Amino acid sequence: MNIDIETLYLASVISRAAFLVVFTTTVLSLPSERYLRHWWAALVASTAGMLLNISQAEALQNPNHPLTVLTITLLLCSLLFSWSGLRVFYEHRLHPRPLLRTFALLVCAPVMTPLIGIPSHYVQAGYYASAALILLLFLKRLVPRLDRQLFAPYVIGLAVLMYFLALVPPIFQLLFTQNPLTPLAYSGPVMLVDQVACVLVYFGFIAMAAERANLNLRLQAETDPLTGLANRRGVVNAQRRQRRDAARGAQSSVLLADIDYFKIINDRLGHDGGDTVLRTFAKRLGQTIRTSDSAIRWGGEEFLVILPRTGPDEAEALAQRLREQTEAQPFAVGDQSLQVTVSIGVATTQTEDADYEAAINRADQALYRAKGDGRNRVCRFEAAASANAEQPGHEPTPKDT
């Protein structure tokens, strides 16, 4: 089957122009997302480069013609903006000066090569190699971030790999045949790759933006706005991990911590003072637990800590460390230094537990006993002791230091 290369170029320009309309709308609707502006610039440069290919085809037959240099530079800019947008998306810092120097070299190379006698086909091979290098940098940034929360990066990774593989044959052709290529000298299959990969890349960029927005909404729904910890909905993710650990026979533990005399703190210092205590305790809690643990604001002044693959002794030791640090470091509330203590119940999952609910109930019983025994202590769940736990008495006023 004969493939009209110019028709493929025209189709490529039209598809890019259509994506450009959609991208412009997306950028305008999400002005705070800087990575979208990078990807929009990539699409503009790519569309302009492809448009030059078909509108100035005769001039572009000369590899050293200024329009040829401009076309290839635009296409390289497109790759660079795609890569920089990915860095911004994953919140990595950009270093523009080295990139600007690289592109200055790429633009000046065709002007300098006749003066120093470098054949034009070697310069072209350098262009293709530069594009392949940017694609490899793109994949290097993308692959380590692949996860199950965002599916669009998998699509983009496939498209970038297709582009990279399409660039390899022209590089070898230029190096070993020593015949310069004009922009319209691509084969039909290569342009077909561009048709597919272009759709995948720009669809993937839009999908990544949408998935990020949905993920942020979900995180907001699962996050306590006061403390920044997970709320009760955050237990759902931990439940999935518990099922996997239980299937492997691994034991997990939970801590249920309650700030002592918090109602009196609120009454004396007001809700702003109480909020300060909660935020400070949440921050210290996050600094105390391990990266594999989950800290959750369970409600009011209660905090739940889920300790996957942790036995009762290790869990109790962590609870004691949290209690001691809370007591030892006064809480700054306005111009006051407040002594705060915490009571903690510890419980461990059992073989028959399908989730953390039963362990949390046992930790709640242990916490009730810690309160009844005088507060500012850690109690591990014991069935007999919990059954005999007594109702706590009157709450004395916390001591200011």
pLDDT tens digits, residue range 203-237? 888 888 888 888 788 888 888 999 999 888 877 76
Alpha carbons 278 and 264: distance in angstroms, whole number: 14
Tokens 């809480």 sit at which residue?
331
pLDDT digits (tens, 9 = 90+) for 379-391: 998 764 545 544 4
Q: What is the token pair recorded at 114?
A: 């006749």
In the chain the domains, ranked by start, together with CATH numbers, are: 5-221 (1.20.1070), 232-387 (3.30.70.270)
**Does residue 2 or residue 82 have the better pLDDT?**
82
Q: Is the dihedral of CA 243, 246, 250, 251 positive or negative?
A: positive
Averaged pLDDT of the chain: 81
pLDDT digits (tens, 9 = 90+) for 70-88: 887 888 889 888 988 988 8
Q: Which residue, 358, 355, 233, is CA-closest to 298?
A: 233
Alpha carbons 167 and 160: distance in angstroms, whole number: 11
pLDDT at res. 399: 38
**What DSSP state is assigned to residue 281?**
H
List the strands of the sheet with 378-380, edge to edge.
Answer: 294-299, 302-307, 253-259, 342-348, 378-380
Alpha carbons 304 and 22: distance in angstroms, whole number: 45
Task: Kindly report the pTM of this predicted structure.
Answer: 0.65
pLDDT at res. 392: 46
